[in-house]
Amino acid sequence: MSIKGKAYIAGVYEHPGRNLPDKSLAQIHAELCKGALEDAGLTKADVDGFFCAGDTPGLGAISIADYMGLDLKYTDTTETGGSSYVCHVGHAAAAIAAGKCSVALVTLAGKPRSEKMAVGTGMRLGAKDAPETGFENIYWPNTTNMYGMAAMRHMHEFGTTSEQLAWIKVAASHHAQWNEHALLRDVVTVEDVLNSPIISDPLHRLDCCVITDGGGAMVIVSPEIAKSLKRHSVKVLGHGEAPKHISGGRVDLTFTGARWSGPRAFEEAGVTPRDIKYASIYDSFTITVLETLEDLGFCEKGQGGKFVSDGNLISGVGKLPFNTDGGGLCNNHPANRGGITKVIEAVRQLRGEAHPKVQVKNCDIALAHGTGGSIGTRMGSATVILGSE
Protein backbone atom coordinates (compact mmCIF):
# COMPACT_ATOMS: atom_id res chain seq x y z
CA MET A 1 0.00 0.00 0.00
CA SER A 2 1.17 3.48 -0.82
CA ILE A 3 -0.10 6.98 -0.07
CA LYS A 4 0.70 8.17 -3.58
CA GLY A 5 -2.24 10.18 -4.85
CA LYS A 6 -4.37 9.28 -1.81
CA ALA A 7 -4.33 12.79 -0.32
CA TYR A 8 -4.01 16.43 -1.37
CA ILE A 9 -2.87 19.59 0.37
CA ALA A 10 -5.86 21.84 -0.19
CA GLY A 11 -5.01 24.83 1.98
CA VAL A 12 -1.97 26.46 3.55
CA TYR A 13 -1.40 29.55 5.64
CA GLU A 14 1.74 31.10 7.13
CA HIS A 15 1.26 33.68 9.84
CA PRO A 16 2.43 37.07 8.50
CA GLY A 17 3.71 38.08 11.96
CA ARG A 18 7.25 37.42 13.15
CA ASN A 19 6.95 39.08 16.58
CA LEU A 20 3.62 38.51 18.31
CA PRO A 21 3.88 39.59 21.97
CA ASP A 22 0.16 40.43 22.21
CA LYS A 23 -1.19 37.03 21.18
CA SER A 24 -1.54 33.80 23.16
CA LEU A 25 -0.08 30.59 21.79
CA ALA A 26 -3.50 28.96 21.44
CA GLN A 27 -4.75 32.06 19.65
CA ILE A 28 -1.97 31.80 17.07
CA HIS A 29 -2.81 28.12 16.45
CA ALA A 30 -6.47 29.07 15.90
CA GLU A 31 -5.66 31.99 13.58
CA LEU A 32 -3.48 29.65 11.54
CA CYS A 33 -6.22 27.05 11.26
CA LYS A 34 -8.69 29.70 10.18
CA GLY A 35 -6.27 30.94 7.54
CA ALA A 36 -5.57 27.49 6.12
CA LEU A 37 -9.26 26.52 6.05
CA GLU A 38 -10.17 29.78 4.27
CA ASP A 39 -7.40 29.14 1.74
CA ALA A 40 -8.87 25.69 1.03
CA GLY A 41 -12.45 26.91 0.91
CA LEU A 42 -13.44 24.71 3.84
CA THR A 43 -14.88 25.43 7.28
CA LYS A 44 -14.07 24.30 10.79
CA ALA A 45 -17.07 21.96 10.70
CA ASP A 46 -15.42 20.03 7.86
CA VAL A 47 -12.36 19.11 9.94
CA ASP A 48 -12.30 15.54 11.30
CA GLY A 49 -8.56 14.98 11.81
CA PHE A 50 -5.98 17.03 13.74
CA PHE A 51 -2.21 16.62 13.64
CA CYS A 52 0.14 18.53 15.92
CA ALA A 53 3.46 18.25 17.79
CA GLY A 54 5.20 19.42 20.93
CA ASP A 55 4.60 23.12 20.27
CA THR A 56 0.86 22.72 20.87
CA PRO A 57 -0.19 23.93 24.33
CA GLY A 58 -1.88 21.46 26.67
CA LEU A 59 -2.37 17.71 26.38
CA GLY A 60 -1.43 16.58 22.89
CA ALA A 61 -4.14 17.55 20.42
CA ILE A 62 -6.83 17.52 23.09
CA SER A 63 -6.55 20.96 24.68
CA ILE A 64 -6.29 22.80 21.39
CA ALA A 65 -9.17 20.77 19.90
CA ASP A 66 -11.26 21.91 22.89
CA TYR A 67 -10.09 25.53 22.48
CA MET A 68 -10.98 25.63 18.78
CA GLY A 69 -14.13 23.56 19.14
CA LEU A 70 -13.08 20.78 16.78
CA ASP A 71 -15.07 17.53 16.59
CA LEU A 72 -12.51 14.93 15.60
CA LYS A 73 -12.37 11.30 14.51
CA TYR A 74 -8.59 11.13 14.44
CA THR A 75 -5.67 12.83 16.24
CA ASP A 76 -1.90 12.43 16.00
CA THR A 77 0.65 14.16 18.23
CA THR A 78 3.85 12.95 16.62
CA GLU A 79 6.87 14.77 18.09
CA THR A 80 10.06 14.76 16.03
CA GLY A 81 10.95 18.44 16.52
CA GLY A 82 11.09 20.55 13.39
CA SER A 83 10.47 17.57 11.13
CA SER A 84 7.13 16.74 12.81
CA TYR A 85 5.04 18.69 10.30
CA VAL A 86 6.66 17.00 7.33
CA CYS A 87 5.91 13.66 9.03
CA HIS A 88 2.34 14.88 9.48
CA VAL A 89 1.86 15.17 5.70
CA GLY A 90 2.62 11.45 5.43
CA HIS A 91 0.69 10.52 8.54
CA ALA A 92 -2.38 12.49 7.47
CA ALA A 93 -2.22 10.98 3.99
CA ALA A 94 -2.01 7.49 5.51
CA ALA A 95 -4.95 8.18 7.82
CA ILE A 96 -6.99 9.56 4.91
CA ALA A 97 -6.04 6.58 2.71
CA ALA A 98 -7.21 4.25 5.49
CA GLY A 99 -10.53 6.07 5.76
CA LYS A 100 -9.87 7.31 9.30
CA CYS A 101 -10.51 10.96 8.41
CA SER A 102 -10.97 13.08 5.30
CA VAL A 103 -10.07 16.66 6.29
CA ALA A 104 -6.90 16.87 8.37
CA LEU A 105 -5.55 20.04 9.94
CA VAL A 106 -1.85 20.40 10.77
CA THR A 107 -0.55 23.31 12.87
CA LEU A 108 2.71 24.73 14.18
CA ALA A 109 2.95 27.87 16.33
CA GLY A 110 5.31 29.45 18.82
CA LYS A 111 6.57 32.67 20.38
CA PRO A 112 10.30 32.31 21.03
CA ARG A 113 11.06 35.82 19.71
CA SER A 114 8.68 37.72 21.97
CA GLU A 115 9.64 35.47 24.88
CA LYS A 116 13.31 36.33 24.20
CA MET A 117 14.55 32.75 24.23
CA ALA A 118 18.31 32.34 23.71
CA VAL A 119 17.57 29.46 21.39
CA GLY A 120 20.93 28.88 19.79
CA THR A 121 23.31 29.69 22.62
CA GLY A 122 21.25 29.00 25.73
CA MET A 123 21.68 25.75 27.61
CA ARG A 124 19.47 22.87 26.58
CA LEU A 125 18.14 21.66 29.88
CA GLY A 126 17.08 18.26 28.65
CA ALA A 127 14.28 16.20 30.09
CA LYS A 128 15.22 14.92 33.53
CA ASP A 129 14.33 11.35 32.65
CA ALA A 130 15.75 11.33 29.13
CA PRO A 131 18.42 8.62 29.20
CA GLU A 132 21.11 10.77 27.58
CA THR A 133 20.68 13.78 29.86
CA GLY A 134 23.19 12.72 32.52
CA PHE A 135 25.89 12.11 29.92
CA GLU A 136 25.34 15.07 27.62
CA ASN A 137 23.74 18.11 29.22
CA ILE A 138 26.46 18.40 31.84
CA TYR A 139 28.85 19.31 28.98
CA TRP A 140 26.65 22.26 27.92
CA PRO A 141 25.80 21.26 24.39
CA ASN A 142 23.54 23.88 22.83
CA THR A 143 22.05 24.14 19.39
CA THR A 144 24.92 26.02 17.78
CA ASN A 145 27.89 24.07 19.12
CA MET A 146 26.31 20.73 18.24
CA TYR A 147 25.71 21.81 14.63
CA GLY A 148 29.19 23.35 14.77
CA MET A 149 30.67 19.93 15.57
CA ALA A 150 28.93 18.47 12.51
CA ALA A 151 30.31 21.26 10.32
CA MET A 152 33.83 20.80 11.72
CA ARG A 153 33.81 17.09 10.90
CA HIS A 154 32.35 17.67 7.42
CA MET A 155 35.12 20.19 6.73
CA HIS A 156 37.72 17.73 8.01
CA GLU A 157 36.55 14.81 5.89
CA PHE A 158 35.57 16.59 2.68
CA GLY A 159 37.39 19.92 2.63
CA THR A 160 34.15 21.90 2.92
CA THR A 161 34.82 25.58 3.63
CA SER A 162 33.10 28.42 5.46
CA GLU A 163 32.88 30.24 2.11
CA GLN A 164 30.87 27.36 0.66
CA LEU A 165 28.53 27.27 3.66
CA ALA A 166 28.07 31.03 3.30
CA TRP A 167 26.65 30.58 -0.22
CA ILE A 168 23.61 28.89 1.34
CA LYS A 169 22.82 32.01 3.35
CA VAL A 170 23.51 34.21 0.34
CA ALA A 171 20.97 32.24 -1.73
CA ALA A 172 18.36 32.45 1.04
CA SER A 173 18.86 36.20 1.30
CA HIS A 174 18.41 36.65 -2.46
CA HIS A 175 14.97 35.05 -2.07
CA ALA A 176 14.03 36.81 1.17
CA GLN A 177 14.37 40.26 -0.40
CA TRP A 178 11.10 39.59 -2.26
CA ASN A 179 9.18 38.32 0.79
CA GLU A 180 7.49 41.25 2.52
CA HIS A 181 7.02 39.18 5.68
CA ALA A 182 10.61 37.93 5.96
CA LEU A 183 12.40 38.91 9.15
CA LEU A 184 15.67 39.61 7.28
CA ARG A 185 15.29 41.08 3.78
CA ASP A 186 18.76 42.42 3.09
CA VAL A 187 20.75 40.61 0.43
CA VAL A 188 24.06 39.49 1.94
CA THR A 189 27.36 38.46 0.39
CA VAL A 190 29.77 35.65 1.25
CA GLU A 191 31.97 38.30 2.88
CA ASP A 192 29.07 39.50 5.04
CA VAL A 193 28.60 35.96 6.36
CA LEU A 194 32.31 35.45 7.01
CA ASN A 195 32.60 38.85 8.70
CA SER A 196 29.73 38.16 11.10
CA PRO A 197 30.91 37.01 14.54
CA ILE A 198 31.68 33.35 15.23
CA ILE A 199 29.09 31.89 17.57
CA SER A 200 30.58 28.42 17.87
CA ASP A 201 33.32 27.18 15.54
CA PRO A 202 32.99 27.23 12.58
CA LEU A 203 29.50 28.76 12.48
CA HIS A 204 29.07 32.51 12.14
CA ARG A 205 26.00 34.40 13.22
CA LEU A 206 24.79 34.47 9.62
CA ASP A 207 25.12 30.67 9.38
CA CYS A 208 22.29 30.48 11.93
CA CYS A 209 18.54 30.73 11.36
CA VAL A 210 16.32 33.49 12.68
CA ILE A 211 14.26 33.31 15.88
CA THR A 212 10.62 34.17 15.14
CA ASP A 213 7.09 33.98 16.48
CA GLY A 214 4.21 32.80 14.36
CA GLY A 215 3.75 29.52 12.54
CA GLY A 216 1.76 27.83 9.84
CA ALA A 217 -1.10 25.47 9.13
CA MET A 218 -2.12 23.09 6.37
CA VAL A 219 -5.33 21.33 5.38
CA ILE A 220 -4.84 17.86 3.89
CA VAL A 221 -7.87 16.23 2.29
CA SER A 222 -9.06 13.13 0.43
CA PRO A 223 -9.02 13.11 -3.41
CA GLU A 224 -12.82 13.36 -3.46
CA ILE A 225 -12.84 16.51 -1.35
CA ALA A 226 -9.93 18.01 -3.31
CA LYS A 227 -11.94 17.50 -6.48
CA SER A 228 -14.94 19.34 -5.01
CA LEU A 229 -12.90 22.44 -4.13
CA LYS A 230 -12.23 25.41 -6.41
CA ARG A 231 -8.74 25.90 -5.01
CA HIS A 232 -5.69 24.29 -6.63
CA SER A 233 -4.82 21.32 -4.43
CA VAL A 234 -1.36 19.79 -4.44
CA LYS A 235 -0.97 16.02 -4.67
CA VAL A 236 0.97 14.05 -2.05
CA LEU A 237 3.25 11.71 -4.02
CA GLY A 238 5.55 10.23 -1.41
CA HIS A 239 6.78 10.43 2.15
CA GLY A 240 9.65 8.96 4.12
CA GLU A 241 10.93 9.45 7.64
CA ALA A 242 13.69 8.17 9.87
CA PRO A 243 15.24 8.97 13.20
CA LYS A 244 19.03 9.07 13.32
CA HIS A 245 20.87 8.82 16.63
CA ILE A 246 24.28 8.18 18.12
CA SER A 247 23.94 4.41 17.77
CA GLY A 248 25.43 3.47 21.13
CA GLY A 249 28.52 5.55 20.37
CA ARG A 250 29.03 4.95 16.64
CA VAL A 251 28.83 8.65 15.94
CA ASP A 252 28.97 9.96 12.36
CA LEU A 253 28.03 13.62 12.09
CA THR A 254 28.68 13.91 8.35
CA PHE A 255 25.22 12.71 7.37
CA THR A 256 21.62 13.15 8.47
CA GLY A 257 18.53 10.96 8.60
CA ALA A 258 17.73 12.27 5.11
CA ARG A 259 19.98 9.44 3.90
CA TRP A 260 17.10 7.11 4.81
CA SER A 261 13.99 9.30 4.63
CA GLY A 262 14.84 10.59 1.13
CA PRO A 263 15.03 7.25 -0.71
CA ARG A 264 11.78 6.12 0.97
CA ALA A 265 9.99 9.24 -0.29
CA PHE A 266 11.51 9.04 -3.79
CA GLU A 267 10.58 5.37 -4.10
CA GLU A 268 6.98 5.94 -3.05
CA ALA A 269 6.65 8.90 -5.42
CA GLY A 270 8.34 7.01 -8.27
CA VAL A 271 10.65 9.92 -9.03
CA THR A 272 14.36 10.71 -8.65
CA PRO A 273 16.26 13.78 -7.43
CA ARG A 274 16.60 14.87 -11.08
CA ASP A 275 12.82 15.27 -11.32
CA ILE A 276 12.67 17.81 -8.47
CA LYS A 277 12.13 21.35 -9.78
CA TYR A 278 12.07 23.03 -6.37
CA ALA A 279 13.28 21.92 -2.92
CA SER A 280 12.44 23.24 0.53
CA ILE A 281 15.36 22.11 2.69
CA TYR A 282 15.30 22.56 6.45
CA ASP A 283 17.79 25.29 7.24
CA SER A 284 18.31 25.70 10.96
CA PHE A 285 21.94 26.30 9.99
CA THR A 286 23.80 26.41 6.69
CA ILE A 287 25.41 23.04 7.50
CA THR A 288 21.95 21.47 7.87
CA VAL A 289 21.22 22.30 4.22
CA LEU A 290 24.61 21.15 2.96
CA GLU A 291 24.43 17.70 4.53
CA THR A 292 20.77 17.25 3.60
CA LEU A 293 21.38 18.06 -0.08
CA GLU A 294 24.02 15.33 -0.18
CA ASP A 295 21.88 12.83 1.72
CA LEU A 296 18.88 13.39 -0.56
CA GLY A 297 21.05 12.62 -3.58
CA PHE A 298 21.17 16.08 -5.19
CA CYS A 299 24.95 15.61 -5.21
CA GLU A 300 27.51 13.06 -4.04
CA LYS A 301 28.43 12.85 -0.37
CA GLY A 302 31.16 15.39 0.28
CA GLN A 303 30.34 17.45 -2.82
CA GLY A 304 27.76 19.67 -1.12
CA GLY A 305 30.16 22.57 -0.79
CA LYS A 306 30.87 22.58 -4.50
CA PHE A 307 27.15 22.16 -5.26
CA VAL A 308 26.01 25.21 -3.30
CA SER A 309 28.83 27.51 -4.43
CA ASP A 310 28.30 30.19 -7.04
CA GLY A 311 24.60 30.55 -6.34
CA ASN A 312 23.31 27.16 -7.42
CA LEU A 313 20.45 27.39 -4.93
CA ILE A 314 19.26 30.80 -6.20
CA SER A 315 16.00 30.68 -8.18
CA GLY A 316 16.50 31.67 -11.81
CA VAL A 317 20.27 31.29 -11.50
CA GLY A 318 21.16 27.84 -10.21
CA LYS A 319 20.40 24.17 -10.72
CA LEU A 320 18.22 23.64 -7.64
CA PRO A 321 16.15 26.60 -6.42
CA PHE A 322 15.64 26.19 -2.67
CA ASN A 323 13.72 27.96 0.10
CA THR A 324 12.32 30.69 -2.13
CA ASP A 325 10.53 32.28 0.85
CA GLY A 326 13.93 33.04 2.40
CA GLY A 327 13.76 29.93 4.57
CA GLY A 328 14.65 29.68 8.22
CA LEU A 329 17.90 31.52 7.54
CA CYS A 330 16.09 34.76 6.59
CA ASN A 331 12.32 34.47 6.63
CA ASN A 332 10.83 32.46 9.45
CA HIS A 333 11.67 29.67 11.90
CA PRO A 334 8.58 29.79 14.10
CA ALA A 335 8.69 27.98 17.44
CA ASN A 336 12.33 27.13 16.64
CA ARG A 337 11.02 24.43 14.35
CA GLY A 338 10.21 25.57 10.87
CA GLY A 339 9.07 22.28 9.32
CA ILE A 340 5.64 23.47 8.25
CA THR A 341 6.99 26.51 6.41
CA LYS A 342 8.98 24.10 4.25
CA VAL A 343 5.82 22.39 3.03
CA ILE A 344 3.96 25.69 2.64
CA GLU A 345 6.54 27.22 0.27
CA ALA A 346 6.61 23.98 -1.76
CA VAL A 347 2.81 24.27 -2.13
CA ARG A 348 3.15 27.92 -3.24
CA GLN A 349 5.67 26.87 -5.89
CA LEU A 350 3.48 24.03 -7.18
CA ARG A 351 0.47 26.35 -7.35
CA GLY A 352 2.56 28.93 -9.22
CA GLU A 353 1.94 31.38 -6.37
CA ALA A 354 5.45 32.02 -5.11
CA HIS A 355 6.69 35.59 -5.57
CA PRO A 356 7.12 36.17 -9.34
CA LYS A 357 10.80 36.97 -8.80
CA VAL A 358 11.44 33.50 -7.33
CA GLN A 359 8.71 31.37 -8.95
CA VAL A 360 10.22 28.32 -10.64
CA LYS A 361 8.97 27.87 -14.21
CA ASN A 362 6.90 24.75 -14.90
CA CYS A 363 7.22 23.62 -11.30
CA ASP A 364 5.45 20.27 -11.37
CA ILE A 365 7.32 18.26 -8.71
CA ALA A 366 8.71 19.65 -5.46
CA LEU A 367 10.32 18.25 -2.35
CA ALA A 368 10.12 19.41 1.27
CA HIS A 369 12.46 18.12 3.94
CA GLY A 370 12.37 18.63 7.70
CA THR A 371 15.03 18.08 10.36
CA GLY A 372 14.22 18.01 14.07
CA GLY A 373 16.27 17.63 17.22
CA SER A 374 19.98 17.99 16.55
CA ILE A 375 22.33 16.71 13.86
CA GLY A 376 24.91 16.71 16.65
CA THR A 377 23.17 13.92 18.55
CA ARG A 378 19.76 12.58 17.57
CA MET A 379 17.30 13.87 15.03
CA GLY A 380 14.04 13.24 13.27
CA SER A 381 14.19 13.48 9.48
CA ALA A 382 11.23 13.57 7.13
CA THR A 383 10.87 14.05 3.37
CA VAL A 384 7.76 14.59 1.28
CA ILE A 385 7.42 14.82 -2.46
CA LEU A 386 4.49 16.76 -3.87
CA GLY A 387 3.09 17.19 -7.37
CA SER A 388 1.15 20.05 -8.94
CA GLU A 389 -0.85 17.47 -10.92
Partner 1 sequence: MSEMKYEAPVVNQETEHFWNATKNGTFLLKKCNDCGKFHYYPRSLCPYCFSDKTVWVESKGAGTLYTYSVMRRAPIPYCLAYITLDEGPTMMSHIVDSNFDDIAIGKRVKLVMKPTAGEEKLPCFALA
Q: Which residues bind partner 1 (CB under 8 A)?
A: 121, 128-129, 131-142, 144-146, 148-153, 156, 197-203, 246-251, 253, 377
Closer to partner 1 by Cβ: residue 134 or 270: 134
Closer to partner 1 by Cβ: residue 141 or 380: 141
Minimum distance, C-beta of residue 114 to partner 1, in the bound complex (Å)? 22
Closer to partner 1 by Cβ: residue 201 or 364: 201
Minimum distance, C-beta of residue 157 to partner 1, in the bound complex (Å)? 9
283 Cα distance to chain centroid = 8
Closer to partner 1 by Cβ: residue 128 or 274: 128
Minimum distance, C-beta of residue 195 to partner 1, in the bound complex (Å)? 15
Three-state secondary structure string covering the chain: CCCCCCCEEEEEEECCCCCCCCCCHHHHHHHHHHHHHHHHCCCHHHCCEEECCCCCCCCCCHHHHHHHCCCCCEEECCCECECHHHHHHHHHHHHHHCCCCCEEEEEEEECCCCCCCCCCCCCCCCCCCCCCHHHHHHHCCCHHHHHHHHHHHHHHHHCCCHHHHHHHHHHHHHHHCCCCCCCCCCCCCHHHHHHCCEEECCEEHHHECCCECEEEEEEEECHHHHHHCCCCCEEEEEEEEEEECCHHHCCCCCCCCHHHHHHHHHHHHCCCHHHCCEEEECCCEHHHHHHHHHHCCCCCCCCHHHHHHHHCCCCCCCCCCECCCCHHHHHCCECCCCHHHHHHHHHHHHHCCCCCCCCCCCCCEEEEEEEEECCCCCEEEEEEEEECC
Closer to partner 1 by Cβ: residue 3 or 290: 290
Contact 251, 137 (CB under 8 A): no
Closer to partner 1 by Cβ: residue 135 or 230: 135
Minimum distance, C-beta of residue 142 to partner 1, in the bound complex (Å)? 7
Minimum distance, C-beta of residue 252 to partner 1, in the bound complex (Å)? 9
Closer to partner 1 by Cβ: residue 69 or 248: 248
Closer to partner 1 by Cβ: residue 34 or 124: 124
Minimum distance, C-beta of residue 245 to partner 1, in the bound complex (Å)? 9
Minimum distance, C-beta of residue 213 to partner 1, in the bound complex (Å)? 22
Minimum distance, C-beta of residue 339 to partner 1, in the bound complex (Å)? 25
